[in-house]
Amino acid sequence: MTMKILVDNGHGITTPGKRSPDSRILEYKYTREIAREVVKRLKAEGYDAELLTPEDADISLGERCNRVNAQCDRYGTKNVCLVSIHNNAAGSGAWMTARGWEAWTSKGQTQGDKLADCLYDSAEKVLKPLLPDVKIRTDMADGDRDKESNFTILYRSRCAACLTENMFMDNKEDVDWLLSNCGRDAIVRLHVDGIKMYVAKYGKK
């Protein structure tokens, strides 16, 4: 059975805040650009990838989960995976100093943990050579690297689901890097390579 890859993007055009202090990064716009390119590159290599939320509007979390679970009904839960792409922030509008990359899954041991492991491996390979001082942020309390919370998009989606926080949009250095050609390509490659790794281990094209 072909694995269905769903790529989500953070928030929507009407979501208040969710931007860099200088508004150079609007999270809804940036994550949609990244998500579209991830899907484009995966499809070019023969993977069955699709945007979960192609609209610019802020599609509700309930509707997003309904869309995911409809694909689970169609393909089987084990044959679907979801990656939701976001930018992180440490404050509420001012420039901050936090930096780094991290991934989240729902609480407990789930298939999402395996997806997160692949994305963490990819983050180490892609980001460390480019940003040796930037931390890959982890939580080893339960024995694996991903952070855990019952975010709706994670715990209500029946398939393997992971949410990535791609650097901090309230850190000036991160903003400059995220908007560079190198930064954009790295964030895209991180997701493409991590998803391909997951499919190779737990599914197929």
Domains of the chain: 4-202 (3.40.630.40)
Q: For residues 148 and 106, is the Cβ–Cβ distance under 8 A?
A: yes
- For residue 93, the model assigns a pLDDT of 87
What is the sign of the dihedral through the CA atoms of 163, 70, 56 and 180? positive
Q: For residues 151 and 83, is the Cβ–Cβ distance under 8 A?
A: no
Enumerate the H helices of the chain as residue ranges: 27-44, 61-75, 111-130, 152-155, 172-179, 181-202
Q: For residues 167 and 178, is the Cβ–Cβ distance under 8 A?
A: yes
Q: Tens-of-pLDDT digits for all 205 residues of the chain?
A: 589 999 999 899 988 889 999 999 999 999 999 999 999 999 999 999 999 999 999 999 999 999 999 999 999 999 999 999 999 999 988 999 999 999 999 999 999 999 999 999 999 999 999 999 999 999 998 889 999 999 999 999 999 999 999 999 999 999 999 999 999 999 999 999 999 999 999 986 5
Could you give the C-alpha distances from 163 to 1, 43, 53, 181, in angstroms and in order? 24, 21, 14, 23
pTM for the model stands at: 0.96
| Cα–Cα distance, 107 to 156 (Å, whole number) | 12
Could you give the C-alpha distances from 109 to 8, 76, 164, in angstroms and in order? 22, 19, 18
- For residue 69, the model assigns a pLDDT of 98
